[in-house]
Amino acid sequence: MCGIAGVVGEVAEGEAQAMIRTLAHRGPDGIRGESITRQGQMRPMAALAHARLSIIDLEGGWQPLHAAGCTVVGNGEIYNYLELIDQFGLKDVLQTGSDFEPLLHIYAREGEKAFDRLRGMYAFCLIGPEGRVWLVRDPFGIKPLYYRQTGGKLAFASEPRALLGPRKTEIEMEPLEDLLALNYVTGRNTPFKGVRRVKPGEVAEVVYGRLAPRRVRPAIPPPQPGARAPKSEGEALEQLDKVLEDSVRVHQRADVPYGLFLSGGIDSAAIGVMMSRLNERPVTAFTCGFVTPPGQAPARDERGQAEKVARALNLDWREVSFGEEDFWRVLPEVAWALDDPTADYATLPTYKLAEQAKGTLTVVLTGEGGDELFAGYGRYRRALRPALFGGRPAGPRADVPFLRDRGQAAVEHWRQATDPPQGLGRLQEMQHRDIAGWLPGDLLLKLDRCLMAHGLEGRTPFLDPEVARFAFHLPDAMKLHGRLGKWLLRRWLQRHCPAADPFARKAGFTTPVASWIAPRAADLGPRIAAVEGVRKLCEPDAVRAVFKDSGQAASRWPLLFLAVWWGIHAESLEPAAALKRVLGE
């Protein structure tokens, strides 16, 4: 896990180095960069830079990395690098133990086909021996990659901030409409003019300073040729055990301490079961719980359930508390970290968990992806019910009262960005939309930014091609059973960790932001309504009404987040100053 930045085309001296310095938080172990010149050229064709968080081959894995006439600068991990070394007989030609070096030798042999052999989370720029320049991102979009085209060059980086330069940033409002309507931004756009996302799974070539997309690799691999669905639940449980153990095993490949973020749900408990099985020593696990103000209804606190699982699995369990003081302290720091924004309030405890784990762990495994692949969300079951029995579509709603009637446009952006391929069942179509939109736009973005702000690497064993291939293509009856989703995963957990209470109904992860905002709501409303970014998007009277009417308390957090985000990223305020302005301090 690292930060990368680079320029392809008309390279200015020191440009890539200036970009990478803005990403130093992603690579606390050191920064390196260099210009790339091909034989016969007088001027460099590219400049590449890397901020390193050392995970594998601590001494020799520095980038940019050169081998077999190729150069790469990459962020993330290629988990199957050891298997690729064996498959291609590379043991005697490698100069480092880096998980990225085998890719260079394979590309030199077979070109673009090499990208399809990777199993991992990654975003990289590869320059081949023939001078072709590629930008590639993993199919789920676990690792971020952004680009900006200006004149005869293309710049790329792990975060938008590296592409913006010293001048005041021009903001595009349409993505922020999506943010308020959906809680995240869909598709290729970001709020920064000219800064775009490389799509999840995209394989793109840089040609004459422009991005030329070649193809997009799907997150869900098709079934293996000749494969059949499990004949029985028992057979499916055996297959699940094998694919999940294999995924967790490769996701633990690291030369640094690794552990687990353990919630009270079944996804992280399942990862914990496998980590406990595969490690001789107790695995370190962190759990966050909430402290609500006196007189307020207590928030759902997962620590009790997580502790039961930790004891059953003999984990080295650490609990972290998050209260009102943490909320106001962490809010501006999270808003700074999320330059590409998501208004998911789970960013707040995730940020503090990373803050507390730093120094103990360098790699953290998490349960992201379990709900999407095994169909855990209640909205899937509701959408499959007839309207007479409470059924309704699983997608987002357009009725955002303070958004100047632009909610429908945001929903249409979501539909276009998540359009499923033909041939899927109704349940699979809903799963696909979440995998294409919600996962990269919200959950994985949250994980990347909140952990990398503290120099931690987050890994997601459910979002592995073999786990995805198995889970997504399961019969619906092995995903949904009565009022429960993730049926097969629950049955598996019943066998291996009954302390996880696998048949409890999904309660969701709720951060009690409304309770923390409520005492200040009357004063916040007018100041948030006056922030330029909020004023451009929303009716000021409607915004003030949100903070007056306790019945609209759930709508306060996205507006507060946007107001602080705008001060930091549109007006160049320091994070603390952006919050103080909103608070009137």
CA–CA distance, 293 with 325 (Å, rounded to integer): 10
Assigned token pair, 394: 């699983």
Work out the pLDDT band at 385, boundaries 50, 70, 90.
confident
**Of residues 582 and 302, more confidently modeled:** 582
Contacts of 509 (CB under 8 A, 6+ apart): 263, 265, 302, 346
CA–CA distance, 440 with 306 (Å, rounded to integer): 26
CATH (residue range 2-216):
3.60.20.10
Per residue in 428-466, pLDDT (tens digit) is 999 999 999 999 999 999 999 999 999 999 999 999 999
pLDDT for residue 437: 96
Per residue in 354-384, pLDDT (tens digit) is 999 999 999 999 999 999 999 999 999 999 9
pLDDT for residue 52: 96
pLDDT for residue 509: 62
pLDDT for residue 507: 64
Work out the pLDDT band at 338, boundaries 50, 70, 90.
very high
pTM of the entire structure? Answer: 0.96
**Cis amide bond preceding 160, omega within 30:** no
Q: Provide the 10 A C-beta neighbour count for residue 481.
A: 16
CA–CA distance, 441 with 184 (Å, rounded to integer): 6
Domain with CATH 3.60.20.10 in the chain: 2-216
Convert 134-202 into a string of H (helix), E (strand) and C (coil). Answer: EEEECCCCCCCCEEEEECCEEEEECCHHHHCCCCCCCECHHHHHHHHHHCECCCCECCECCEEECCCCE
CA–CA distance, 306 with 303 (Å, rounded to integer): 5
Return mean pLDDT, the chain.
94
CA–CA distance, 7 with 15 (Å, rounded to integer): 8
pLDDT above 90 (res 217): yes
pLDDT for residue 42: 67
Q: Where are the beta strands (DSSP E) in 335-380?
A: 363-365
* Mean pLDDT across 299-306: 88
Per residue in 49-65, pLDDT (tens digit) is 999 999 999 999 999 99
CATH (residue range 233-500):
3.40.50.620
Domain with CATH 3.40.50.620 in the chain: 233-500
